[in-house]
Structure 1
Amino acid sequence: MEKAVIFDMDGVLIDSEPFYFQRRMNFFKEKGIQPGSDKFEDYVGNSEKQTWDLLVSESEARREMLHQEYLEYKKHKGIDFKKALRNSVPDVLTKLTENGISIGLASSSPRKEINQMLSDCQLESYFSFTISGEEVKESKPNPEIYLISRKMLNCHDYLAVEDSALGIASAKAAGIYTVALKQAFPMDQREANVVIDELEELLILPQLIK
């Protein structure tokens, strides 16, 4: 295909960042432990490793122990991906596909969560390629995840849809025109090529329709 759109997942396809943040904070509160940061904006766009390096910075052994406990904790407090999915996503993906545009997903989230989201929301068929933060050596803002996506999608032109400063930096470092989806909370999106209010606006961007 000539063109491809590569989506981030959290904050773009699903409105999940506030849920993930609150779940982590509740876990630490129940454990009676003060996390490395209790500021929402410090975690947006981070990989799992970056998140836990920040949550528990003083001891690798303690960090690993708490992370394993948290993995068990979140099994009982999972996100409802169907509810978290942005309403416009199925229609936007359908129209992109109908217009011959290849679709990829480049998310810092774990592979298991990506697969569950795609399955629960019945979106697997739209994506030509997906990659998780577990499948790269360097996390965003390093461009590796987008460079791999470019290679695997094998298109002529690319457009990335991100929300966080880390994601925007990653896509732009890979030489990709980057669209930022505006969020309901303050976020630095100044480095994006353009900021949109709704995903539907992708369908009228000159970079896709020209």
Structure 2
Amino acid sequence: MIKAAIFDMDGLLIDSERIIMQGCIEAAASIGITYTEQQYVQLVGRIWSDSSRIMAEQLNGEHHMQQVIAGLNTYLDARNHVFPLKTGVLELLQFYRDAGITCSVASSSPIPHITHRLSHTGVLDYFDHVTSGQEVQRGKPNPDIYLLALEKLGLQADECIAFEDSELGAQAAIAAGLRVIVVPDLKQPGDLVRAQAFHVVESLLHWHQNHETFINCLT
């Protein structure tokens, strides 16, 4: 029996990755650097210490990276760092609340970003626990963030399911022993993740609409 569901945030619960990516592209262009979608996708799912290191390499130096981050923050400030919910999020969270299934967040983002973004979309109160990449030394694809989320829940991996949009996130959940549902956002998962994931679905709404059929496959 499933007792809890653990969710990633960016690109899964909220439609933030495309907006942040566009902000990075525009900020880089403003200082004469071409930054591509393919480069940004390499950052998805990573904790800040990992993504900032990779971005500095992509932009040929820490100075350029800091300039792009400053431009990105200006771009996001204009939006109050608020992003729309992805399709089916509210319906699934309400369904789990009604079913008595605990919901938790395990996001690489800092805690202030998690609470701000989820509170402004009206869904923060659906989550009993929030786990941030700030709380672990190793980011996704290492399992640390999911192991900490399980510890907070007081549950075993086989009592929970995880939802992820990124390949790195899915790898982290799988490494923690969780059955992971992948909802691709910017990039489709590779063959290995597809083989190891419990399911790959087009949206959380699709999972919700077919929940009973999918869950029956777990038991």
Counterpart contact for 2:179–2:198, Cα < 8 Å: yes
Counterpart contact for 2:47–2:108, Cα < 8 Å: yes
- Which residue number corresponds to residue 168 of structure 2? 166
Q: Identity over the aligned pairs, expressed in percent?
A: 31
- Which residue number corresponds to residue 197 of structure 2? 192
Match for 1:175 among 174, 177, 197? 177
Structure 2 vs 1, CA of residues 7 and 72 (structure 1 numbering), >3 Å: closer, same or farther?
Answer: closer
- Which residue number corresponds to residue 23 of structure 2? 23
Question: Alpha-carbon deviation of 1:95?
Answer: 0.8
- Which residue number corresponds to residue 66 of structure 1? 67
Question: Alpha-carbon deviation of 1:114?
Answer: 0.9
Query: Secondary structure in 2 aligned to 1:56?
Result: helix
Task: Give the paired residue count.
Answer: 206
CA RMSD of aligned residues (A): 2.6
Greater CA deviation, 97-106 or 68-77?
68-77
Q: In 2, distance between residues paired with 1:68 and 1:27?
A: 8
Segments of 5+ residues of structure 2 without an aligned counterpart are: none
- Which residue number corresponds to residue 215 of structure 2? 206
Structure 2 vs 1, CA of residues 138 and 63 (structure 1 numbering), >3 Å: closer, same or farther?
Answer: farther
- Which residue number corresponds to residue 145 of structure 1? 145
Query: Secondary structure in 2 aligned to 1:6?
Result: strand
Give the ranges of 4+ consecutive aligned residues of structure 1 lying more than 6 Å apart after TM superposition.
Answer: none
Q: Report the TM-score when normalising by structure 2.
A: 0.82
Query: Secondary structure in 2 aligned to 1:138?
Result: coil
CA deviation profile, 1:36-89 (whole Å, cap 9, x unmatched)? x651432322223322212212545x26743663464245343442xx202421
Question: Alpha-carbon deviation of 1:15?
Answer: 2.0
Question: Alpha-carbon deviation of 1:207?
Answer: 5.8
Segments of 5+ residues of structure 1 without an aligned counterpart are: none
- Counterpart mapping for 1:38-117 below 5 A: 38-39=37-38, 40-57=40-57, 58-60=60-62, 62=63, 65-66=66-67, 69-70=70-71, 72-78=73-79, 79-81=81-83, 84-117=84-117
Q: In 2, distance between residues paired with 1:198 and 1:38?
A: 21
Question: Alpha-carbon deviation of 1:5?
Answer: 0.4
